[in-house]
């Protein structure tokens, strides 16, 4: 059941256009703009991506995968589970901080679903290792931690005096069992 050639072409054009639009205007870029940039009608967007959020997910899927894949590697290569946690969270934050509007969008609905589904198991593994090693307080919920870090990334692009990474650093430090 292979797709028609024009459909495949349009889907790629849309992904490219969306990626470009997200870079220059943030993930809030209007659907019409993306359609125009791809040389396509809005209807075509909605056939390929039933909702705006599906387009966002599609654009960032690769990077989420990479972030997920990095988890086990960091756990193996770090000097301690807490160090691995810190480094992995940094990776996650780096990803979010560079995508204008993504952290806020993450709080509403479907993005949430995919991102968390993919990253929670990884986070859980690292948190579990750190807990077992007695390096962080027990009972930390991986979902909650991920959401917290995601929230801290909100507004990180603006030039006011907000340093998301610093705050995330404090949060991770506060997890320590001392």
Residues within the interface to its own copies (CB under 8 A)? 104, 107, 141, 143-145, 147-148, 151-152, 154-155, 160-164, 166-167, 169-176, 178
| Spatial contact of 141 and 150, defined as CB atoms under 8 Å apart | no
Residue 134 is a binding residue for DNA (CB under 7 A)? no
Q: For the chain, give percent helix, strand, coil, nearest 5.
A: 70, 0, 25
Contact of 96 with 22, CB cutoff 8 Å: no
Of these, 20, 26, 28, 78, which contacts DNA (CB under 7 A)? 28
Q: Is 90 in the site for DNA (CB under 7 A)?
A: no
Name the β-bridge partners of 136: 176
Q: Where are the beta strands (DSSP E) in 2-157?
A: none
Q: How far is CA 57 from CA 37, 72, 87, 114, 171, in A?
A: 19, 23, 24, 7, 27
Question: Does residue 107 belong to the site contacting DNA (CB under 7 A)?
Answer: no
Q: Least separation, in Å, of the C-beta of 15 and its own copies?
A: 28
40 binds DNA (CB under 7 A): yes
The listed partner (its own copies, DNA, none) that binds 133, CB under 5 to 8 Å by sort, is none
- Residue 30 CB, shortest distance to DNA, in Å, is 4
**Residue 14 or 56 with smaller CB distance to its own copies:** 56
Per the CB < 8 A criterion, the answer to whether 129 and 75 are in contact is yes
Residues that bind DNA (CB under 7 A): 1, 3-7, 9-10, 28, 30-32, 39-44, 46-48, 50-53
């Amino acid at each position: 059941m292979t797709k028609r050639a024009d459909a495949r072409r349009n889907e790629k054009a849309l992904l490219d256009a969306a990626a470009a639009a997200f870079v220059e205007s943030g993930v809030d870029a209007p659907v019409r703009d993306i359609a125009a940039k791809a040389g396509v009608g809005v209807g075509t967007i909605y056939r390929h991506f039933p909702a705006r959020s599906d387009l966002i997910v599609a654009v960032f899927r690769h990077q989420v995968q990479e972030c997920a894949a990095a988890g086990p590697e960091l756990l193996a290569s770090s000097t301690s589970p807490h160090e691995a946690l810190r480094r992995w969270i940094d990776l996650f934050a780096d990803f979010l901080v560079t995508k204008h509007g993504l952290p806020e969008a993450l709080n509403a609905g479907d993005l949430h679903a995919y991102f968390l589904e993919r990253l929670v198991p990884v986070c859980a593994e690292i948190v579990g290792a750190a807990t077992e090693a007695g390096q962080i307080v027990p009972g930390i919920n991986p979902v909650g931690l991920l959401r917290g870090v995601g929230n801290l990334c909100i507004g990180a692009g603006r030039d006011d005096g907000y340093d998301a990474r610093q705050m995330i650093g404090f949060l991770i430090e506060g997890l320590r069992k001392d």
